[in-house]
Amino acid sequence: MKHKLIEAAGLTSSAVFALALASCDVEKVEEGSMPEVEVKGEAELPEYDVDTPEVDVETKKVEVEVPTGVDVDVPEDDPAIGDVGPGADDDE
């Protein structure tokens, strides 16, 4: 049972990490400009041979036993984790 829990936690953290990378929010904050250039002659771009790793993606159903009777005390105003106490979302 412990192995299944560790495996599920690993898959979940990997999925969260991948989602975090894929869901970046990019906002242009300043206009850019291109320089004026003059090109003479011929040029050739370099050629690359890239070997990418093989990735096998699988899904499997796993039952995880959720503990009950666990009491967690969370401080209402902890600057490290933000305001997560009761009524934290009342401003929104």
Q: Cβ contacts of residue 5 below 8 Å, gap of 6+?
A: 64, 65
The per-residue pLDDT for 82 is 61
- pLDDT tens digits, one per residue of 18-75: 666 666 677 788 899 989 988 888 888 888 888 888 888 899 999 998 888 888 777 7
The per-residue pLDDT for 63 is 93
Number of Cβ within a 10 Å radius of residue 11: 14
Indicate whether 87 pLDDT > 70: no
Distance of CA 38 to the CA centre of its chain: 42
The per-residue pLDDT for 66 is 85
